[in-house]
Amino acid sequence: MIDTPVLERVLAAALRHGGDFAEVFAEDRSTSSALLDDGRVEELASGRERGAGIRVVSGETTGFAHTADLSEPGLLQAAEAASAVARSGSGATVVTAGPLVAPSGTRGPVRGAEATGIGSKADVLGVLRRADEAARGSGDAVTQVQAGCGSSVRRVLVVNSEGLLAEDSQIRTRFSVSCVATGDAGMQTGFESAARTMGFELFDEVSVEELAGLAARRALAKLSARPAPSGELPVVLAGGSGGILFHEACGHGLEADHIVKDASVYVGKVGQQVASPLVTLIDDGTVGSEWGTFGVNDEGRPAGRNVLIDHGVLTDYLWDFLRARKDGRASSGNGRRQSYQHLPMVRMTNTFLLPGEEDPDEVVAQTPQGVYVAKLGGGQVNTTTGDFVFGTTEAYLIENGRITAPLRDANLIGNGPEVLKRIDAVGTDFAMTPGTCGKDGQSVPVGCGQATMRLFGITIGGTAA
SS3 content of the chain, % helix, strand, coil (to 5): 20, 45, 35
- What is residue 249's three-state secondary structure? helix
Q: How confident is the model at residue 426 (pLDDT cuts 50, 70, 90)?
A: very high
Orientation angle between helical segments 208-222 and 121-136, nearest 10 degrees = 40
* Complete domains list, the chain, with CATH: 110-158+166-222 (3.30.2290.10), 230-461 (no CATH)
Q: How confident is the model at residue 120 (pLDDT cuts 50, 70, 90)?
A: confident
pLDDT for the residue 380 = 83
Q: How confident is the model at residue 112 (pLDDT cuts 50, 70, 90)?
A: very low
pLDDT for the residue 465 = 55
CB 128 within 8 A of CB 145: no
Q: How confident is the model at residue 135 (pLDDT cuts 50, 70, 90)?
A: very high
The stretches of 118-207 forming alpha helices (DSSP H) are 121-136, 202-205
Query: What mean pLDDT comes out for the span 307-333?
Result: 95
266: Cβ–Cβ under 8 A, 6 or more apart, which residues?
250, 253, 254, 259, 274, 314, 317, 417
Amino acid in position 171: I
Predicted confidence (pLDDT) at residue 462 exceeds the cutoff of 90: no
* More confident site: 382 or 454: 454
Q: List pLDDT tens digits, range 259-292.
A: 999 999 999 999 999 999 999 999 999 999 999 9
Query: What mean pLDDT comes out for the span 398-424?
Result: 94
Predicted confidence (pLDDT) at residue 186 exceeds the cutoff of 60: yes
* More confident site: 49 or 244: 49
Predicted confidence (pLDDT) at residue 92 exceeds the cutoff of 70: no
Q: Mean pLDDT of all residues in the chain?
A: 91
Lowest mean pLDDT among 66-70, 111-115, 419-423: 111-115
pLDDT for the residue 109 = 39
The stretches of 293-384 forming alpha helices (DSSP H) are 321-326, 360-365
261 CB neighbour count, 10 Å cutoff: 11
Q: List pLDDT tens digits, range 344-372.
A: 999 999 999 999 999 999 999 999 999 99
Q: How confident is the model at residue 439 (pLDDT cuts 50, 70, 90)?
A: very high
pTM of the predicted structure, to 2 decimals: 0.92
Predicted confidence (pLDDT) at residue 117 exceeds the cutoff of 80: no
Predicted confidence (pLDDT) at residue 381 exceeds the cutoff of 60: yes
pLDDT for the residue 400 = 97
CB 195 within 8 A of CB 291: yes
Q: How confident is the model at residue 88 (pLDDT cuts 50, 70, 90)?
A: low
CB 151 within 8 A of CB 11: no
pLDDT for the residue 180 = 98
Query: What mean pLDDT comes out for the span 86-112?
Result: 44
Predicted confidence (pLDDT) at residue 139 exceeds the cutoff of 70: yes
